[in-house]
Structure 1
Amino acid sequence: MASSLLPAFTVRRGEPVLVAPAEQTPRETKTLSDIDDGEGMRFYSSGIHLYRANPDKQGVDPAAVIREALARALVPYYPLAGRLREEAGRKLVVDCEAQGVMFVEADVDLTAADFGDVQSPPFPCFEQFILESTTVAGVEPVIDRPLLYIQVTRLKCGGFIFGQRFCHCVVDAPGGMQFEKAVCELACGAAAPSITPAWGREMFMARQPPQPSYPHLEYSEPAGGAVDRMLTTAPGDIARVPFFFGPREIAGLRQRAPPHMSRSSRFELVAACIWLGRTAALGYGADEEVRLSFIVNARGRRDVPLPEGFYGNAFAYSVAATTAGELCAGGLGYALELVKKAKSAVTYDYLLSVADLMVLRGRPLFALSRTYIVSDVSHAGFKSVDFGWGEAVYGGPAKGGEGPIPGVTNYFSRSKNGKGEEGTVVPISLPKDAMEKFQLEVEGLTAEI
């Protein structure tokens, strides 16, 4: 786990500069897909990579290496150096004029060891290691702003921290990783990235005329009940605790699953467990509708004709829904059944239906009330981002979850516990009076029989 004993420190940032593509790039306007530009994508997703010193890199400035590689990577990925513009119907396009991405160098009197064995988000003091843009009335706009912010912070041990913030409208997690690995390849001496980027956004455009063919509960408010207390609890009254699901916890969940579902995936078991425990802990009324919403990635599916090198958003939010009473009474087996059904619902036709809905309904934000939204980034390959200094000590999201409301959205990531066992870590945020009950619920569901 991360060290809680970091010494007092000050990050000394230089003046942020714009890094443009290293060569001439096309001047044009590129249209985002109707999945890219939904309200729920209009934010910056942040990640951090921590590196130890490498004796072979003594005297080499990582900031200079990364800045040069970044400029070269922006030649094939030139839309990332552009700016978003909103057209009629809230449609987003990218004006590709080589405006550049924001980059800043920084220094801090810390070593990689000062961060302890950090394995899962949130990264300690992450605010100091990612470059924020200007907010307006507490909201960070994405229109006419850089699409990527990068901060390279040199450590006194010779290591460094790479912090990035991508506009989610133009890349999803795999797309962002594809770009970062392109920067890594160039930083390590490659003449060009091994994967040629493909725009391909036309495949996720709404049909003409738009005809949503699924109910899309993710964009409608759940039935019954008052406003969700998760949306009204003050930040100071929220407790944040990481929960580790290792071999013992997964074994306990499998023992409690119905025999025909005992081979469920780790994600399905953990998601069902947390949804069930969270619902019980928050004390929703028996007739109130509760939901689990999770990201289903379309990459690698035979029915989704993604071009190789695609780096845009290629996922949809699928929803498992029932009443709080039915969920708590049905237990883990019932929750698992709903999760599996929702997971299998996302097809190419489903994605086109989402695009149709976006156009017809003004690109709405997904529903948040009595909804728990999860994203599994366990297999994103964050640690494999190597700029020439070796594998990252920590690589992953900067925060425990990102989105409009803290605690409603969470990341699942891979980590190790104190025994060296690998498992899934979920940083849970709940009202303080609900956290203890949630912990008891999870312990009951994961204890081996």
Structure 2
Amino acid sequence: MSSITVLKSSPAIVVPSEAEPEAAVAPKAGETVGLSSFDKRAGPFPVTMLLAYDRPIHEPVETIKRSLSRALAHYQPMAGRLSNGDDAGIVCSGEGVLFVGARASCDLEELLDDQKGGAARFVKDLALSYPSEPCRESDPLLLVQVTEFTCGGFVLGVTWNHVAADGAGMAQFLQAVGELARGVSPPSVSPVRHWDDSIPGLPAPMATAQKPSSSAARGPQDMVRLDVTIPWSLISDIRAAGVSAGGKPCTVFEAVAAVLWKCRTRASLSAVDPRSPAPLLFPCNLRALVGASAGYYGNCTVVQVVSATTGVVADSAIGDLVGLIRLAKEKVPDVLRPSSDDGNSNGGGRGQEQEEGPPVQFTMYNVLAVLSWRNLGFEAADMGSGGASRVMWDADPMAPGCVACPPRKGRDDGVSVSSICVKPEHADAFLGELAKLTASNN
């Protein structure tokens, strides 16, 4: 049992500041924002992010609390409540968000020490949780905690109802909080939450297929999380080989996802039928594809699936796996076409010749979901002393095997990957496969 303790203040409700100049864009207080097909796809499930700041600011708890109130005046839906039924939407009721200040008994580096498991051990101490899942209509759409450390650093923990915003939208909101904390008003990005009817949404069958169920919202509890680093040497070798489809250089995400997919699958190969499915999932931001307005912070993502059997993933070269991932990315526009509904919800898996047969069947253990937070802008949320030195994500609300690729200052040895979920008996095998793959490319 760790000796680190976190003492929290009593929860307070932060409402939109009445002193803040009225936002120039809708929606305004009292209005109801209809939910888009993307919002409905996301479902009312919580997401938690931890933003660590290693440089102090003056009174971080009070500073962020004040700027949060000001930001809510520009982002009225964030201070509202869900309304379901025939008129499902977010009511801009101004009821506010839940806020807690806290103090930790250690310095920030001690808490973030990867050798001791990192901050993931203390996510429940550093962020607030909803009383139940899925979130209830009466719950705030956002929960915020600011924890000060003995070194002067602090952690901003945010938990939000996924219906309110996706990752890119929440990063935009937190950047606005930071700008207001630094005296920039109004925020540099004008927020937009209304979904224009002229913008294409998800076809009904695809929206239904993409929506998570409450029973699958939280993965099995008999999994362990591993924090690893994919070395730049391995990533550079994969990219330099020109292994993606058409000979194009692959992205860092494609290289990292392929490495994790192969290593995790090979680690469990002895325990499963090589013909069993081993799908890879990853979210795709469709803002540019659908023509969403600049500053739109609602949900605008879909989950893309790459289908393959355990045997194919385990035996394929990394370049071939990168090619499958790139092919799935190229097929993302298909999810917006009504004709894409052919009884197979595997957007992107279709057309892969090695995967003939029925649609992929997901189990609690065979899915690997790779989510990258590197380019969403969380690290750019500057509360007054620079951006976040580390961004961490709580993987609990998602399917097993979810990982994050968060930025971390001061680390140039590779891409840091947190919360790769494996069965306990497969942990050593996974680390061994990663070590072998890295060694073979040196």
Do Structure 1 and Structure 2 share a fold, with TM-score over 0.5? yes
Determine helix, strand or coil for the equivalent of 1:194.
coil
Of 186, 189, 193, which residue of structure 1 is paired with 2:180? 186
* Secondary structure at 1:72 match in 2: helix
Q: Check 1:411–1:157 CA distance in 2 against 1; reply closer, same or farther (3 A cut).
A: closer
Contact 1:82–1:95 (CA under 8 A) maintained in structure 2: yes
* 1:45 maps onto 2:31 in alignment: no
Residue in 2 aligned with 1:62?
A: 60
Deviations 1:277-333 (A, max 9, x none): 22222233132222111111224x3x4211011001121111111222333343323
Deviation at 1:256, TM superposition (A): 7.2
- Of residues 12, 16, 32, the one that matches 2:11 is 16
Aligned to 1:80: 78
- Residue equivalent to 1:292: 280
The 1-side partners of 2:295 and 2:239 are apart by 37
2:377 pairs with 1:392: no
> Contact (CA 8 Å) 1:206, 1:356: kept in 2 or not?
no
1:15: how far off?
A: 1.4
Residue number among 106, 111, 115 corresponding to 2:102 in the alignment: 106
Whether the aligned pair in 1 keeps the contact of 2:219 and 2:396 (CA below 8 Å) is: no
Deviation for aligned residue 1:375: 0.8
Q: Which residue of 2 aligns with 1:134?
A: 131
Q: Which residue of 2 aligns with 1:3?
A: none
What residue is the counterpart of 2:417 in the other structure? 425
Separation of aligned partners in 2, 1:286 and 1:249? 26
- C-alpha distance in structure 2 between counterparts of 1:292 and 1:379, whole Å: 20
Q: Which runs of 5+ in 2 are unaligned?
A: 23-27, 346-360
**Mapped partners of 2:6, 2:193: distance in 1:** 37
Q: 2:329 aligns with which of 333, 343, 355?
A: 343
Structure 2 CA distance, aligned partners of 1:41 and 1:251? 37
**Within 2, Cα distance between the matches of 1:132 and 1:79?**
20
Deviations along 1:228-249, whole A, 9 cap, x unmatched?
9x976x52xx332222112222
Q: Which amino acid aligns with 1:167?
A: N
Q: Indicate the RMSD between aligned Cα atoms, in angstroms.
A: 3.5
- Report how far residue 448 of structure 1 moved: 1.6
2:437 aligned with 1:442, yes or no?
no
Alignment of 1:376 onto 2:372? yes
Report the alpha carbon displacement of residue 379 of structure 1 after superposing the two structures with TM. 1.6
How far does residue 124 in structure 1 lie from its aligned partner after superposition?
A: 4.6
Instruction: Give the letter for the 2:284 counterpart.
Output: V
Partners of 2:14 and 2:340 in 1: how far apart? 33
Q: TM-score, normalised by structure 2?
A: 0.81
TM-score (norm 1): 0.80
Shift of 1:117: 5.6
Deviations 1:386-425 (A, max 9, x none): 211333332x1342x24344x332212234787x424342
**How far apart are 1:143 and its partner, in Å?**
2.3
Q: SS in structure 2 opposite 1:106? A: strand
Q: Is the 8 A contact 2:282 2:371 kept in 1?
A: yes
Moved more, 192-201 or 280-289: 280-289
Q: Any gaps of 5 or more consecutive residues in structure 1?
A: 1-5, 222-227, 361-365
Alpha carbons of structure 1 residues 113 and 436: separation in structure 2 relative to 1, 3 Å: closer
**What is the identity, as a one-letter code, of the residue corresponding to 1:412?**
C
CA distance in 1, matches of 2:241, 2:429: 19
User: 1 CA distance for matches of 2:398 and 2:9?
Assistant: 30
Question: Percentage identity across aligned positions?
Answer: 26
Q: Map 1:318-333; keep pairs closer than 5 Å.
A: 318-333=304-319
- Partner Cα separation in structure 2 for residue 231 and residue 163 of structure 1: 22
Q: CA deviation at 1:254?
A: 4.7
The aligned counterpart of 1:143 is 137
Query: Is the 8 Å Cα contact of residues 288 and 323 (structure 1) preserved in structure 2?
Result: yes
Alignment of 1:86-97 (within 5 A): 86-88=84-86, 92-97=88-93
In structure 1, what is the Cα distance between the partners aligned to 2:118 and 2:137? 28
- The answer to whether residue 169 in structure 2 is matched with residue 169 in structure 1 is no
**By how many angstroms is 1:428 displaced?**
1.8
Aligned amino acid, residue 166 of structure 2: D
Where 2:422 maps in the other structure, the secondary structure is strand
2:293 is equivalent to residue 311 of structure 1: no
Greater relative contact order (CA < 8 Å, ≥ 6 in sequence): 1
